[in-house]
Chains A and B, each alone.
Chain A
Amino acid sequence: MNRRKFLTILGSAGVVSALGSAKVAEASPASFPYYPDSWGVLHDTTRCIGCRRCEAACQQVNHLPEPKVPFTDLAVTEKKRHTTAYEWTVVNKYEVNGKPYFRKLQCFHCNDPACASACFARCFSKLPNGAVVYDGSQCVGCRYCMVACPFYVPGFQYDLAWDPLVQKCTFCEPRLKEGKLPGCVEACPVDALTFGRRSDLIKIARARMAENPGRYVDYLYGEYDAGGTAWMVLAPAAGGAPVPVDDPQGAGTEFKQLGLDTHLGSQPMGQLTYGALGAVPMIVAFWPVLFGGAWAMTKRREAMAKLEQEKIIKDAKDDLAAAVDAAVRKIGETEGEGAAERARQAMTEALKAREAQNSGDGHGEEK
């Protein structure tokens, strides 16, 4: 392999990485378009009674393992449970303004999901019907999706040695395809879960707020949070208490009391990383120039120093030669040609020995 060949390979590597970063730029929010006809679910926490029917239905339709605690035991709702690889939805009880309310936890099916943005093997996709689905066949098991998810949703099959996968609510995507409702929605005895087009659900939620003054917090969680989610949540208001003035969002603390983070912002979580990813091509392009330049300058400085040194040495040598000549001439004048020749030889040898000694002193002392 000659130098040119190697440079070609290096060059094509650069092109490849440049292409990679071009894709990064392309994968701005536009790579996960907002699907206007997508489905969603509106979760009305003022209706939820914490019966765990949705959990049971989820286990049944998704063929999940039997739970440790039977679904008829409602005491487990007191614990703040998370979704896991084997429980894709759980209902927890929360105290909101001193009164008990229930909230169902499951995948929010973001418009532009953090998990999909974080996955480096492209296992997640947001489907036009609204579902965020996961294909484990190319999952590496890095669990960055779990780090990225702002809702702590995906679970991992830590108990499996062979083929452990990330698991989460699928929005019952296979059932949606058949024209059926998601298992949990179908099972809900009080319609605390309303299934519909996401755009309709926003209107329904607003209508409920308008028709029931004082019943709901005037904020629809998931309409904009984390870039918007397909599953949205209505929270109970304090009941007649005025909305605090220092709460511009109007979300109050009710959502926080329901265990929901209202500080995620309205941009998709993945966008937080796009700035850093956008800097990649800059560094790829600029760093070689910067360091190559620094290297070239160093080289040039070294070369100039060397030249100068050589000149000094040459001058010194010339001076020395002149001095030797003068001395030899003087010896020749006083002691004759023979002695002069012997003296010249002795002086030359002494100088050579000195030079050899100098150069043998190892390298790199030119600090």
Chain B
Amino acid sequence: MRNGTTLFLLAVTLLAFAACPPAPGAAPAALEPTDSGAPSAIVIFPVGAKPNPKAAAMQPVTFNHVVHEKWMERTGKDCIVCHHTGDAVACTTCHTQEGKLEGAHITLYDAMHATNIAPRKDNTPASCVSCHGKQLTQRDCAGCHTTLVRNARNEVWCTVCHTVTKSMTAEDMQQGIAGKLPERRNEALAAETELARKMVTYWKAAMAPQKVVIDSLAGKYEPCVFNHKSHVLSLMGRIKENKLASAFHTEPATLCVTCHHNSPASATPPKCASCHSPTIDPAAPQRPALMAAFHLQCMSCHKDMKVSRPRNTDCTTCHKLRAPERAANQAN
């Protein structure tokens, strides 16, 4: 069906191009159209009823409808997840900055960001943030996002969604807030923004060390040889395959801060032992000691990503017993 529609739309576009004289400059690339016939992308303005002559408001959000629709299709979900009333209308029809009776006085902010949504009898609506938050529990994300990286609503992440092309004028904004921006213009702005969105290009894995020898605690066991590269590559691969992950992991260092946490993202993060002392510091008992820091980091990630091997209590898979201990053990 989709192929049919695509063909049809392609034909229409070609015809249109043939009919119209080409616009000056390069022809703008178009977004893939949606199945439903809805706009491929739209700009969601912070619509409000109050007069706002200076258009002082939050940066609007550019919403890629196509990507979301495809995901719905792939995961067997329905438009009703977002269009929870059953009518395919824009969110801002009912949810405005101030809230309206039609939207049960739920403001636009809450409708988009609420995470603790009270269950409804028939269909419980989902907000952008609640749905995105749920994605973090899937196996590929859980390793970092269960314990180590919390999906805190940091201002760094606002602009991932709250972004519009620079060609949006003040007048556009004013009209948008008032809910009077022509649909054509809206879609054009959205398409421009989305097409300009660049997927991140990560550092090449080679930039990170291939192997890391963790020997600061080696005593009974030999130092642990940690295959740094394979871990980085594995995580990179998972992000690349996931559009949501790609959108949010914008900086190369975003990937690194999972393990190299609590320090500014950098290509040369400090050593673990800089903060984690070999024995627990009674002044900061909440900070794990070095050995625990390693074990917790490795084990919790492996557990959450359902990496069954090695078992938590199987010490020698990661670090071999030293020869004398090995001999003693065999003697037993």
Contacts and interface: CB of A to CB of B under 8 A. Distances in A.
Q: Do chains A and B touch in the complex (CB under 8 A)?
A: yes
Contacts of B292: 188-191
A212 B147 contact: yes
A50 interface: yes
Nearest to A42: B285
Contacts of B296: 47, 190-191
A51 B299 CA distance: 13
A156 interface: no
A49 B285 contact: no
B81 interface: no
Contact of B282 (A74, A195, A240): A195
B interface residue count range (under 10 / 10 to 19 / 20 to 34 / 35 or more): 20 to 34
B285 A201 contact: yes
Contacts of A74: 313
B295 interface: yes
Contacts of A201: 285
A47 to B, nearest CB: 7
Contact of A51 (B150, B286, B289, B313): B313
A49 B282 contact: no
B188 interface: no
B224 to A, nearest CB: 12
Which of A50, A70, A190 counts the most B-chain CB atoms under 10 A from its CB?
Answer: A190
A215 B147 contact: yes
B285 A195 contact: yes
Interface string A36-56: 000000000001011100000
Contact of B285 (A50, A188, A204): A204
Contacts of A186: 279
A207 interface: yes
B10 to A, nearest CB: 44
B312 A195 contact: no
22 contacts: A49-B299, A50-B312, A51-B312, A51-B313, A51-B315, A186-B279, A188-B292, A191-B288, A194-B280, A195-B280, A196-B286, A197-B282, A197-B285, A200-B285, A200-B286, A204-B285, A204-B286, A212-B146, A212-B147, A212-B150, A215-B146, A215-B147
Interface of B: 137, 146-147, 150, 279-280, 282, 285-286, 288-289, 291-293, 295-296, 299, 312-313, 315, 332
